[in-house]
Homo-oligomer: A and B are copies of this chain.
Amino acid sequence: MKKNCTESPICSKCGNTQSIICGLNDTDKNEISYRKDDGIYKKGDIIFKEGNNAHNLFCVHKGKIKLSKLGKDGKEQIVRFAKSGDILGYRSLLSNEPYHATATAMEESEICVIPKEVFQKIVEDNYKLSLNLIQLLSKDLKSAEQHLIDVAQKTVRERISEALLLLITSFGYLADGKTINVHMTRSEIADLAGTTTETTIRTLSQLSHDGIISLEGKNIVITNHTELIRNTNTYD
């Protein structure tokens, strides 16, 4: 559910320096600022749906988003996350396809909505931007392939350990440097690791029992990072 926001972020003054939009010149940024719409999405709100026609590029100004696809019997599979500075939907716009996944806000998020034509126009006269998009796609493809191997070959305990590490790289820690900076239900973690809710609950409490993590309400605290990595059974 999108609502209008009183003060819309201005692209040329956006704090997200790592965003792909930031590499653009001021003319382009101003064009985007002028044409874009701005939306606040509440926790659980759907930003776009898998299979729907793609009309916009989404630029996450603030918040946390999960990208998921529907699998067998409607079971959800989380494919990746997005946070401040990330852009969503560009793949569909570039190849004129429907959205590949469903984007859901994991917490209150502020997202700039840039119309398809504006984005396409800017890509057309920005060779540099197209190279950056290639980098982005390469990165996403690389992690998708890795995720594939993980899910295909690892045990549930290894996959859940991987999932926790992914949450850390995606969202980081709270100020204490050990509490994962995101709230997810056991069921969502299951959708990420490719297992069931019950097994996730059991495995997390095992990890907790083994002193690797600590479950404190909605928070997951990493108490032994080295051991967590060892539990993923990866060597690189």
Contacts of A94 in B (CB 8 A): 131, 134-135, 138
Q: From DSSP, what is the main secondary structure of chain A's interface residues?
A: helix
Stretch in A3-11, A139-147, A202-210 with 4+ CB within 8 Å of B: A139-147
Q: How many copies does the complex hold?
A: 2
Partner of A134, one of B72, B134, B149, B194: B134
Stretch in A108-116, A151-159, A221-229 with 4+ CB within 8 Å of B: A151-159
What CA separation (Å) do A153 and B154 show in the bound complex? Answer: 14
Q: Does A21 contact B (CB under 8 A)?
A: no
Contacts of A134 in B (CB 8 A): 94-95, 130, 133-134, 137
Given known A141-B141, A145-B144, A233-B72, contact A194–B135 (CB-CB < 8 A): no
Given known A127-B130, A130-B130, contact A153–B79 (CB-CB < 8 A): no
Given known A77-B152, A137-B138, contact A145–B233 (CB-CB < 8 A): no
Given known A95-B135, A130-B130, contact A149–B100 (CB-CB < 8 A): no
Q: Does A71 contact B (CB under 8 A)?
A: yes
Contacts of A149 in B (CB 8 A): 69, 71-72, 77
Q: Does A91 contact B (CB under 8 A)?
A: yes
Q: Does A174 contact B (CB under 8 A)?
A: no
Contacts of A130 in B (CB 8 A): 127, 130-131, 134
Contacts of A35 in B (CB 8 A): none
Q: Closest B-chain residue to A127, C-beta based?
A: B127
Q: Does A230 contact B (CB under 8 A)?
A: no
Residue interface bits A94-110, CB-to-B below 8 A is 1, else 0:
11010011000000000
Q: Does A2 contact B (CB under 8 A)?
A: no
What CA separation (Å) do A26 and B120 show in the bound complex? Answer: 28
Q: Closest B-chain residue to A192, C-beta based?
A: B152
Q: Does A14 contact B (CB under 8 A)?
A: no
- Which 7 pairs, one residue from A and one from B, show the smallest C-beta to C-beta distance? A152-B194, A137-B137, A71-B153, A144-B144, A71-B149, A72-B153, A151-B152
